[in-house]
Structure formats: structure tokens, C-alpha cells
């Protein structure tokens, strides 16, 4: 998949590719909304691999929205994109089977970039957790799926926030830079109204020494992305 990205500023990284792989494990179908789509990477990969997906997305940064639209056209994937803040997205009769997201998750207190694009893409002040999860719960069909990634150190806070909107984490996988390092990312599958017990999947280890682990190599091979930095 060819993915055009800005020459400078925010670009997708391994978090998006790991999230795409995690989402695919649940064989999504039906209506899917990608929140904070960026250049479209997560949603477009999921739609490419799952033919029964009807993909929509929301992206509030106009520059990134243009890249997302171009990437959908270049890869011949049907796409409905809302150029809006997710929290301001008007509710309608449309409810989703899946909401997926690689949201901004760095907390307050972390030194922020002076680049506006990076600030919106990285820091959770741009999409506060409680407001984010409340909106997700309103837009999901009963017993549907919310699959996203977040900063691993905030996992306990994430679980508590989801419980407040009557959603429960049912699958979780932690991503570690190396086998002897603490987790840096957590991949989460939550459902609204679920009473299921939590399933903790084996950890995903990014590097073995200076090389990618075999599993990560396989994930990148399945993604088959080719990044092209350009100015639209």
C-alpha cells in the first residue's frame, strides 16, 4: 500500500502498524470508523484486508485529511472522511460496529512540541480521555467493538475511564521495545455492555538486540506499506 505523508511534521510509525495487526485479529466487518485518521494508514490497511468493512474516518487537521483522501484514491479504497473534530462530530442515526483509533495519548506534563500538527497528533489534551470514550460509547452499536492503542503506563486509568461509560476491556496486548524493557504501548479491545473476562495476549517484543523480532518483521511484511513523503 502506497501512503503519501507530509514532508515534515507528523508521520505514522510502528504504533499504527501494530494496531492494524491487532485489529485484524478480530476480523472486522460492517461499519468501521477510524478516529484521528492522520494520513489514513490504520483504517485503509484494515479495509484493504477485510473486504466486508465499510470504512469511514474523522480527521480534524485539514492537511492530514488531504493526505488521507489521496491515499484512499491511490489505493482504490472506498472512504467517507469527516474533516472535523471527533468530539464535535454530529450524532445521527449512524452507529458503528467498530471504532478504531491511534489517538493522541501523551499526558499533560510531557514537554510538548512547538509544531501544531505534532501537538494535535500526540498529546491527549487534544482529545481528553473521558470525552473521547464517552463519544465512542455514544456512536457504537450495542455490544460492538472499540479497538485502539494507548500509552502503556496509563492502562489502569484507561480501564477505569472505560468502565465509567459502561465499556469493558476484553483483550489486551502490551508492546515492549525489548524483552527486558517495560511496555511502552498497549493494544486494547473493549466492548460496550460486555461481561467477558479480560484476555491478556502474549506480549509483542519490538527488537531483539538491534534487529526486529521475527513477529514484527512478519507484521511489517503483511502491512506492505510504502511511505512517500511529499507536499500536496
DSSP string computed for 33-67: EEES-TTSHHHHHHHHH-TTEEEEEE---HHHHHH
The CATH number given to whatever domain includes residue 151 is: 3.40.50.150
* Contacts (Cβ under 8 Å, ≥6 apart) of 147: 19, 22, 23, 26, 28, 98, 99, 100, 101, 187, 188, 189, 190
CA distance 200 to 142: 23
Domain encompassing residue 207: 2-230
Q: Select the more confidently predicted residue: 70 or 119.
A: 70
Q: Select the more confidently predicted residue: 140 or 110.
A: 140
- Residue 145 β-bridge partners: 98, 191
Mean pLDDT, rounded, for 30-43? 97
pLDDT at 120 over 50: no
pLDDT at 117 over 80: no
Mean pLDDT, rounded, for 7-24? 93
Q: How many domains does the chain have?
A: 1
- Report residue 78: phi and psi, to 5°: -60, 135
CA distance 95 to 101: 16
Amino acid at each position: 500500500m502506497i501512503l503519501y505523508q507530509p514532508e515534515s511534521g507528523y508521520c505514522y510509525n510502528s504504533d499504527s502498524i501494530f494496531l492494524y495487526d491487532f485489529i485484524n485479529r478480530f476480523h472486522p466487518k460492517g461499519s468501521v470508523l477510524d478516529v484521528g485518521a492522520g494520513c489514513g494508514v490504520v483504517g485503509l490497511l484494515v479495509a484493504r484486508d477485510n473486504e466486508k468493512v465499510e470504512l469511514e474516518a474523522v480527521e480534524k487537521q485539514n492537511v492530514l485529511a488531504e493526505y488521507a483522501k489521496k491515499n484512499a484514491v491511490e489505493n482504490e479504497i472506498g472512504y467517507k472522511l469527516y474533516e472535523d473534530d471527533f468530539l464535535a462530530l454530529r450524532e445521527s442515526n449512524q452507529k458503528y460496529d467498530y471504532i478504531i483509533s491511534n489517538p493522541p495519548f501523551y499526558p499533560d506534563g510531557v514537554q510538548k512540541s512547538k509544531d501544531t500538527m505534532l501537538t494535535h497528533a500526540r498529546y491527549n489534551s487534544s482529545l481528553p480521555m473521558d470525552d473521547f470514550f464517552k463519544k465512542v460509547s455514544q456512536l457504537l452499536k450495542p455490544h460492538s467493538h472499540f479497538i485502539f492503542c494507548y500509552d502503556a503506563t496509563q492502562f489502569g486509568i484507561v480501564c477505569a475511564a472505560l468502565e465509567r461509560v459502561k465499556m469493558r476491556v476484553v483483550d489486551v496486548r502490551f508492546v515492549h521495545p525489548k524483552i527486558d524493557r517495560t511496555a511502552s504501548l498497549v493494544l486494547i479491545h473493549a466492548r460496550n455492555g460486555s461481561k467477558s473476562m479480560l484476555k491478556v495476549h502474549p506480549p509483542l517484543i519490538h527488537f531483539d538486540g538491534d534487529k526486529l523480532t521475527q513477529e514484527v518483521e512478519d507484521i511489517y511484511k503483511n502491512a506492505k506499506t510504502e511511505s512517500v513523503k511529499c507536499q500536496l
